[in-house]
Amino acid sequence: MSKHQKEMGVLKEHLGKHQLKYTRQRELILDAFLKQEHITAEEMYHQLARKDPHLGLATIYRTLNLFCEAGLAQARHFGTQTQYDNISHKGHHDHLICTDCGKIVEFENCDIERLQEEVATRNGFTIKTHRLELYGLCSRCRH
């Protein structure tokens, strides 16, 4: 029995609903993905090269995008490459990013979210999504 029973269930349900198939590659990528908070396709490509040297980069991109559609992942554009954020066991959140060491801290702040809604309403907008990223130095890198 796998460690990631619940998430595998979510994926299989999505696959079933869309006439998609459960493959060895998808299982492999899901396992690797659920071990991280954020990961890029390239990072995963290198990690998995040990387990399966023939796994293609395109397959990793395709599969991570599939996870986004299944609600397990969310694509974030922090730096130059897309980070796939493991949201399987957590709700909406935003990020603090250290520009020196790359450390990423997740946070949630209801007050900020509420004020965002106020701003939107005042301007006649209905918010669908948002991105809030705070860039700076973490405590280690400040010294």
Q: Enter the DSSP assignment of 79.
A: S
Of 86-125, which residues contact Zn ion (CB under 5 A)? 98, 100-101, 103
- Residue appearing with tokens 């946070």: 107
**Residues with Cβ < 8 Å from 98, sequence gap 6 or more?**
104, 136, 137, 138, 141
- Judge contact between 84 and 68, C-beta under 8 A: yes
Check residue 127 for interaction with Zn ion (CB under 5 A).
Answer: no
Check residue 76 for interaction with DNA (CB under 7 A).
Answer: no
Of 38-97, which residues contact a second copy (CB under 8 A)? 77, 96
52 binding partner (options DNA, a second copy, Zn ion, none; Cβ < 5 to 8 Å by kind): DNA
What angle is formed at CA 10 by the lines to CA 58 and CA 104, rounded to 5 degrees?
65
Cα–Cα distance list, 76 to 50, 58, 80 (Å): 26, 18, 10
- Judge contact between 60 and 45, C-beta under 8 A: yes
Candidate segments 58-66, 83-91, 114-122, 131-139, binder of Mn ion by CB under 5 A: 83-91
Q: Give the separation between CA 46 and CA 28, rounded to whole angstroms.
A: 13
Task: Work out how close the CB of 57 gets to DNA at its nearest, in angstroms, rounded to a whole number.
Answer: 6
Candidate segments 58-66, 89-97, 116-124, 130-138, binder of Zn ion by CB under 5 A: 130-138
Task: Work out how close the CB of 135 gets to a second copy at its nearest, in angstroms, rounded to a whole number.
Answer: 5
Site for DNA, rule CB under 7 A: 15, 19-26, 40-42, 52, 54-59, 61-63, 65, 80-82
Site for a second copy, rule CB under 8 A: 77, 96, 98-99, 105, 107, 109, 111-112, 115-116, 119-120, 123-139, 142
